[in-house]
């Protein structure tokens, strides 16, 4: 029986704060590709689910009353806001990664300890996605220029994204 490579580590990956150069952080492009893969996978589940409840007009927004654009009912609120949050946070809590991150062999860890992120960190990280998106996605672009490859959502939550199998550089 093989071991799960995405199971939380039994010990810290590295002392991230003490030896930040010993950690192989996941860079902007690796994370961007993982995010794109996650979006495609999420839409593969979301679109059929939305069409099941709202019919084929869902994609054209014909189901939204003209008087109230946006969220039109509790089910739509669940599908567009709650479902994605639970899905992403659940993946981070169980595997420290979403399917896209797993495919690219990266995972999320606590920036101070290298251990799996807490529920509070995961919720903060998810909410931080909105902050990172607001000013023309600058919080995500920040990953390309930051020494520890942290986006604003990572800084807010106290997390870093590291490459598996390369936690320590030679």
Measured distance CA(167)–CA(109) in Å, rounded: 11
Pick from 103, 104, 108: which is nearest to 129 by CA? 108
Residues 110-125: pLDDT tens digits? 999 999 999 999 999 9
Q: Which of 3-12, 51-60, 75-84, 159-168 has the highest mean pLDDT?
A: 75-84
**pTM, 2 dp:** 0.78
Residues 131-152: pLDDT tens digits? 999 989 999 999 999 999 999 9
Using 50, 70 and 90 to split pLDDT, how confident is the model at 67? very low
């Amino acid at each position: 029986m093989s071991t799960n490579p995405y199971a939380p580590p039994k010990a810290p990956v590295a002392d991230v704060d003490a030896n930040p150069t010993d950690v192989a952080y996941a860079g902007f492009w690796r994370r961007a590709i993982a995010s794109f893969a996650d979006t495609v996978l999420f839409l593969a589940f979301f679109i059929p689910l939305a069409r099941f409840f709202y019919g084929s007009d869902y994609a054209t927004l014909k189901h939204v009353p003209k008087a109230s654009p946006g969220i039109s009912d509790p089910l739509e609120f669940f599908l567009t806001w709650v479902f994605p949050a639970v899905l992403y946070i659940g993946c981070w809590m169980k595997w420290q990664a979403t399917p896209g991150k797993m495919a690219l062999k990266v995972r999320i860890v606590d920036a101070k300890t290298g251990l799996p992120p807490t529920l509070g960190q995961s919720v903060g990280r998810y909410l931080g996605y909105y902050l990172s998106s607001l000013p023309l996605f600058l919080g995500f672009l920040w990953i390309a220029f930051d020494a520890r490859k942290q986006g604003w959502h990572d800084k807010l939550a106290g997390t870093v994204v590291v490459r598996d199998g390369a936690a320590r550089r030679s």
